[in-house]
Chain A
Amino acid sequence: MSFVALVRRDLRLALRQGTDAFVSLLFFVLVLVLVPLAIGPEPQLLARVAPGLIWIAALLSVLLSLERMFQSEYEDGSLDQLALSGIPFALIVAAKVAAQWLTTGLPLLLAGPVLAAMLALPSHAQGVLLASLALGTPTLSLVGAIGAALVVGARRGGVLLALLVLPLYVPVLIFAAGAIDAAAAGLPARPHLLLLGGCLALSLPLAPLAAAAALKDALR
């Protein structure tokens, strides 16, 4: 109950503030639009690099939104109020992760296939691209929450966040881009997607606990 209320509160905040939610999506689109301008518009070349580039752009756009995840609420004190509310702290973190994913991960799911088509990704790989985004982006939000919780109150938190989180994103990047690559080459993508699902299954219960432990330290 409180979980749903927290998610709705965060979503409402994101929608009222408007621009915040769309900045990550816009960033994702812009990075991918720059690619053909930088490496040339040949369809074969673009199709070859599209899986990796889409995922790098997704990684960076999620990273962009992480810094706001706890920092502003830490500064205005509402995080202290939430900590005193008696709701388990890991549940609060999970609600914030869910809201963060709905505002940054889900839009990528909608924009991904369009940009993939613009980058000449073969149409038979589109389904796997969607599956990889659906399985991978929640993991990015979950693992990112740990990083975001750790840098709350730090000097130069934003730069630090990239240094902490990007190495932890490596498995997701490898399996997700590997799945789309395999599908584009006509090979089975299932093993990659299963590993990606494994990453999600591991981080779903553990990441909120770790992020909650880190946040409690910040509030002490």
Chain B
Amino acid sequence: MNLHRFANPARFLRIARVVAPVAGWIAFAALLAGAAFGLVLSPPDYQQSETVRIMYVHVPSAWLALQTYVAMAIAAAVALVWKHPLADLFVKAAAPVGAGFTLLCLVSGSFWGRPTWGAWWVWDARLTSMLVLFFLYVGYIALSGAFDDEERGRRAGTVLVLTGIVDVPIVKFSVEWWNTLHQPASVFRLGGPTIAAEMLWPLGLMVVGFTAFFVWIVCVRLETELLTRKLRARLENSPG
């Protein structure tokens, strides 16, 4: 596939204007349905009773936190290698969203940890590596805004994002490499999921909702960025 087909900002804007509202409505519907199933209709856990419902926010935000970073790293590589004009804009648009997901994951995990582990926070490998991921997001946001020349900030950011990718496998496999308090993967694993079907459905809906929300908000942010640029270029070129 020719990546440069999507390098034209005008073509991207045309596509984004179709994709963004569709993704927005899918996000709205899926989050509403997922919340209804997850919070009301799904059964409480036999051990954790009602606290298990935190999972419907915690797990999707954790997945999206990692996936956003992977997507940003791929886009950063594309920006560095092919000088794709939209790739580094995507990285910048996605970073605050990813940071938000990471924070949501950490906070909801903390609320979940209090009743089940008896502590708000434990220095466990997965929690710590997730916290490091949060700092990587924050570092990117700080770095990309630290230069008078915006483009230089974005380019410096791509190098940082690619360097930070080493943390992603550590987060993913921390529950397998070290003995931790955090439970191992129970959905995507060899031999099928170990989670009950009544819980898997609302979880799936929430994941769809979170992903669609991500697509929607990144499209809107990219659109805003492109329009701002266009406006600025027009102001600079206008006489007087």
Question: B163 near A: Cβ within 8 Å?
Answer: yes
Interface pair A150/B132, CB less than 8 Å apart: no
- Report which of B128, B143, B163 forms a contact with A168, defined as CB distance below 8 A: B163
Q: Is B196 an interface residue (CB 8 A)?
A: no
Residues of B within 8 A of A150 (CB): 143, 156, 159-160
Q: What is the 8 Å Cβ interface bit string for chain A, positions 150-170, against chain B (1 contact, 0 not)? A: 110111110010011011101
CB <8 Å contact, A213 and B80? yes
Q: Is the interface of A mostly helix, strand, loop or mixed?
A: helix
CB-based contact B164/A167 at 8 Å? yes
A33 CB–B CB distance under 8 Å: no
Question: In the complex, how many residue pairs between chain A and chain B have their CB atoms under 8 Å apart?
Answer: 64
- Contact yes or no, A167 B147, CB < 8 A: no
Partner of B159 from the list A167, A168, A210 (CB cut-off 8 Å) is A210
Chain A contact-residue range equals 20 to 34
Interface presence of B162 (CB below 8 A): yes
Closest partner residue, chain B, to A157 (CB atom): B146
Interface size class of B (residues with CB under 8 A): 20 to 34
When distances are taken between beta carbons in the complex, the residues of chain A under 8 Å from B97 are none
- The answer to whether B146 and A151 touch across the interface, beta carbons within 8 angstroms, is yes
Q: Any chain A CB within 8 A of the CB of B31?
A: no
Residue interface bits B129-146, CB-to-A below 8 A is 1, else 0: 000100110110011001
Residues of A bordering B, CB below 8 Å: 143, 146, 149-151, 153-157, 160, 163-164, 166-168, 170-171, 202, 210, 213-214, 217-218, 220
Given contacts A154-B146, A168-B163, 10 further A-B contacts (CB under 8 A): A153-B147, A157-B146, A160-B139, A160-B143, A164-B139, A170-B132, A210-B159, A213-B159, A217-B156, A218-B152
